[in-house]
Amino acid sequence: MLIEGARKLSGEVEVQGAKNSALPILAATILSGGENVLCNCANISDIDAAVGILRYLGGSVSRHHTTMLVNTDSLCRFDIPHDLMREMRSSIVFLGAVLSRHKRARLSFPGGCELGPRPIDLHLKALRQMGAVINEHHGILDCYAPKGLMGTKISLSFPSVGATENILLAAVNAKGTTTLTNAAREPEIVDLAEYLNKCGAKIYGAGEGIIVVDGVGKLHGTQHTIIPDRIVASTLLSCAAVTGSEILLKGIISQHLSSVISIFEEAGCKVKADKGEISFCAPERLNAVKNIRTMPYPGFPTDAQAPLMSALTVARGTSCFVENIFESRFKHVGELLRLGANIKVEGKVAVVEGVSGLSGALVEAQDLRGAAALITAGLAAEGTTEVTGIKYLERGYDSFETVLSDLGASVRKV
Ligand code: UD1
């Protein structure tokens, strides 16, 4: 991606559908069978990977712009091969759905990823509590539930998003009631539960710390619109903030962005959040933000940390980030230094000393949100910034170069 920076952005932008909602909902179609119509599915490679898995398992999927038609009536396989699993670490969310549907699942261990080790112990412990027998050997997870899955009381030691999703997928068709304590409260969990309830599931309390699921045995297909992507929205706000611009975000749910909005307000931005829109006006130079701690929702999202850090590289004063969710989530820092930023990392803390400007350079993205962060910084940098590793960006951002060009940026994919 080639970016000619130091230009202001202006105009309106419609935010794409949420990747992190679409992925578990695509997995959930395995449970429902019948015809599913999913609207607002972004055109991104992680969704392509999920579609690849559904097709391999025997489902039929077609796409018309952002609408997907999914039918899983003829699903015949319970295994997911290594090459499909490794394309996307979050493919582990297929485990609960496949196991529930076939009483069997065989898939390769997802292993680590760009963000460091990503264990799935919480997923496996919960499924075992529900009656699954899981053998792990040679990197393969072999799972059986000969008598079907059984509802039970589960308490997560950490509110893992993926584990909460897997438990919901396993519980909706289980025998009896599952009570999940310390569940993740992310909006994407609520979206998954809403989809499943439309299909006939009985899930109560999604979005709160305790979720109760009454197993129903059978679901049917439905139509559902994926919620807007709060991380793409946060990235666009970072892009406007770093360039001192005024933009209007449309098609969003502003409550999902509360923790992000309050940080931008602290940085001196004027934010008017209506239900479905945010009008955003950044000052010529941002103020530093003393303390940004990533936390499970409703705290500040780890996925928004990297783009916000780019914005604050040019703020007046010193900002401090504490990354509490993932171990290796500062890979963008080394590349931001090449653009002239002044950042020091010590463990899970990054201290950003604001500089008066950035200058374009060749930089390499190493993960999805890091890629978005480098583009954010490139928008502010004098001269040309060349960002390689764009395949990471394309995992989660639909036509990002067009979205930014429509706002007046000079961004070109070559
Ligand atoms: C999801 C999101 C990701 C986001 C993350 C945190 C999707 C597809 N991805 O990832 O974009 O950054 O939530 O908001 O929705 N953990 C364990 N054992 C487990 C599971 C998790 O130790 O069994 C740890 C992880 O290593 C990590 C933390 O818990 O440190 C959070 O992980 P989790 O909430 O599960 O994130 P994901 O579902 O993988």
pLDDT tens for 262-314 read 999 999 999 999 889 999 999 999 999 999 999 999 999 999 999 999 999 99
What confidence score (pLDDT) does residue 62 get? 97
Distance, CA of 203 to CA of 328 (rounded, Å): 34
Which one-letter DSSP state was computed for residue 290? S
pLDDT grade, residue 112 (50/70/90)? low
Best substitution site from 123, 127, 160 to test ligand 1's pocket, by max atoms within 8 Å of Cβ? 160
Distance, CA of 52 to CA of 239 (rounded, Å): 32
Q: Residue with the nearest Cα to atom 38 of ligand 1?
A: 162
What confidence tens digit (pLDDT) does each residue in 211-245 have? Answer: 999 999 889 999 999 999 999 999 999 999 999 99
Q: How many CB atoms lie within 10 A of CB 317?
A: 15
Name the residue among 161, 187, 165 with its Cα closest to residue 253.
187
Active site residue 76: no
- Ligand 1: list residues with CB < 6 Å: 20, 23, 90, 118-123, 158, 160-163, 184, 188, 302-303, 325-326
Distance, CA of 198 to CA of 224 (rounded, Å): 8
Q: Residue with the nearest Cα to atom 37 of ligand 1?
A: 162
What confidence score (pLDDT) does residue 33 get? 81
- 245 CA → ligand 1 middle, Å: 33
Span 125-129, average pLDDT: 98
List the 292-293 sheet strands across, edge first. Answer: 292-293, 318-322, 349-353, 342-346
pLDDT grade, residue 113 (50/70/90)? low
pTM higher than 0.75: yes
In degrees rounded to 5, what are phi and psi of residue 272? -110, 110
Asked whether the beta carbons of 302 and 294 are under 8 A apart, the reply is yes
- 345 CB-side CA count, 13 A: 16
- 386 CA → ligand 1 middle, Å: 30
Catalytic residue among 39, 113, 239, 281: 113
Q: Give the ligand 1 atom nearest the CA of 90.
A: 8
> Mean pLDDT across the chain, nearest whole number?
96
What confidence tens digit (pLDDT) does each residue in 339-389 have? Answer: 999 999 999 999 999 999 999 999 999 999 999 999 999 999 999 999 999
Q: Residue with the nearest Cα to atom 5 of ligand 1?
A: 161
